[in-house]
Amino acid sequence: MAIQVILNLAVAVAILAFLYRQQARHATFTVRVFSALGLGVVLGAGLQAVYGAANPILASTGQYLDIVGTGYVKLLQMIVMPLIMVSIIGAILKLKNASSLGKISALTIGILMLTTVVAAAIGILMAKLFGLSAAGLTSSAAEVARGAYLQGKLPDAQAISLPSMIISFLPANPFLDMTGGRKTSTIAVVIFSIFIGIAATGIAQKKPDEFAAFERFIHVAHTIVMRLVTIVLRLTPYGVFALMAQVVATSSYADILNLIGFVLASYCALILMFGVHLGLISASGLNPLRFVKKIFPVLVFAFTSRTSAGSIPMSVQTQTRRLGTPEGIANFAASFGATIGQNGCAGIYPAMLAVMIAPTVGIDPFTIGFLLPLLAIIMVGSVGVAGVGGGATFAALIVLSSLDLPVALAGLLISIEPLIDMGRTALNVSGSITAGTITSRVLGETDLAVFNRDDDTGNDSETLAA
């Protein structure tokens, strides 16, 4: 191992030790995440300034940082399926009412899909205001390769239809879906858990002893899984630090400047859509500033990790213990939000791409004849977008191929894709939390005492501050 790599890692270990001391001194969870984010940016910028983004020393350092960053993401992914299962089954056992389950599902999915259409409209507006167009953009070797890759993926995107996507949600092999083996595994596990919960409530009157035993088993399993969530979430600041350091260290500032118009337009759209989320929260009678403060650590993790699915445990924990949303609604919103109606990946991004690419084939993208089909396709295509990094690409393929636009041109944005994807993922997670919060509020289930609490004492201080 090169001496430079050892020195780099020594600095990283010193920063991790500082974050651990913050935890030992019981600094709040938000403070620790903020510190990790800032220190990650500083270390990443310093490494790039010293070595350059393409230096093999930086690549070697990144491999070791990956143990902390990617390792943390994998631990979160490890607990996603168990958390979904025990939480949803437990919630249904408490509901004992199928109509309540239907209301939760309909409200959550409806909010997710409608906000995705709004996000797409905002993306179109920003593309027009910034004058974005793919005409005249030059292609490097990497962009050409990316375009060829997207072209190769086109048959898969064209084969997708709404009926086939709905069918893919059904868990033909629930044990496969528990491994996350399919893009729609999260929803499949949700559906499987719903069936188990409904089946269990069906024997509550006929076989009360068996029902009581099963209910006790789920309660014990839920207690153990939530303890596991607590253990993993304690590692959040360390994971955020490592992920942020890698992103900043390996970003190409020249490529970002070359496509700065798209970057600015994208983040303007993301910020505006985040404002829509806050407007919805305010309209539901809740304090939007308090909402932002409470969900900020989740957004930071989503931003740095670029995974909506990996954010599910932290999202559920935040909704239940900081926003006062019941566990059943929180799990529905987090699980559906990782696959359906992602405002950033399935709304803003494909809309902006379609508007940019349309002029290259002689289409005016700002006519009703183009915009209405575009919004309709985005709403339908937003069903089933994968909740991991890269889901936006698949959503873009579905939209572009449905409109007969050249998909290879989407490869022109490969150099800034990670930077944009960070903001998109944070917006996706914000959208799912917003859907859960509003659903809970509409159904009168929100614990306002929890939501209005200013400190972390009622948010499981063991989880958030220990």
Report the distance separating Cα 405 and Cα 463, nearest Å: 48
333 or 156, which is more confident: 333
Confirm if 413 and 420 have CB atoms less than 8 A apart.
yes
| Burial class for 1, CB neighbours closer than 10 Å (0-12, 13-18, 19+) | exposed
More confidently predicted of 249 and 434? 434
pLDDT digits (tens, 9 = 90+) for 365-380: 999 999 999 998 888 7
| Per-residue confidence (pLDDT) for residue 331, from 0 to 100 | 86
Give the whole-angstrom CA distance, residue 331 versus residue 342. 16
- Give the pLDDT confidence of 57-74 residue by residue, as tens digits: 988 998 999 999 989 888
Q: What's the pLDDT score for residue 340?
A: 81
pLDDT at 324: 95
Cβ atoms of residues 83 and 312 within 8 Å: yes
The 10s digit of each residue's pLDDT in 162-214 is 677 778 788 889 999 888 777 778 888 888 988 998 899 888 888 989 999 99
- Mean of the pLDDT values across residues 350-378? 89
Question: What local confidence, expressed as pLDDT, does residue 266 receive?
Answer: 93
- The pair of structure tokens assigned to 157 is 């995107």
Q: How does residue 139 score in pLDDT terms, banded at 50, 70 and 90?
A: low
The residues that bridge with 340 in the sheet, in sequence order, are 383
Q: Which residue has the higher pLDDT, 91 or 374?
A: 374
Mean pLDDT of the chain: 84
Q: Say which range, 89-103, 167-181, 296-310, 352-366, has the weakest mean pLDDT.
A: 89-103
Residue predicted with more confidence, 409 or 435: 435
Q: Which range (99-108, 315-324, 441-450, 454-463) has the least confidence?
A: 454-463
Q: Which residue has the tokens 């910034």?
A: 130
* Radius of gyration for the chain, computed over Cα atoms and rounded to the nearest angstrom: 22
**pLDDT score recorded for residue 338:** 81
Of 109-118, 135-144, 316-325, 379-388, which range is least confident? 135-144
User: pLDDT category, 268, cuts 50, 70, 90?
Assistant: very high
Q: Two tokens at 108?
A: 């959550």
- Mean pLDDT in residue range 450-461: 64
Residue 318 near residue 363 (C-beta atoms within 8 A):
no
The total number of residues written for the chain in this structure? 466
In terms of pTM, does the model score above 0.85?
A: no
| DSSP sequence for 140-151 | -HHHHHHHHHHH
CATH class of 3-464: mainly alpha
Beta-strand runs (E) in 138-180: none
Token pair 């890759």 is found at: 149
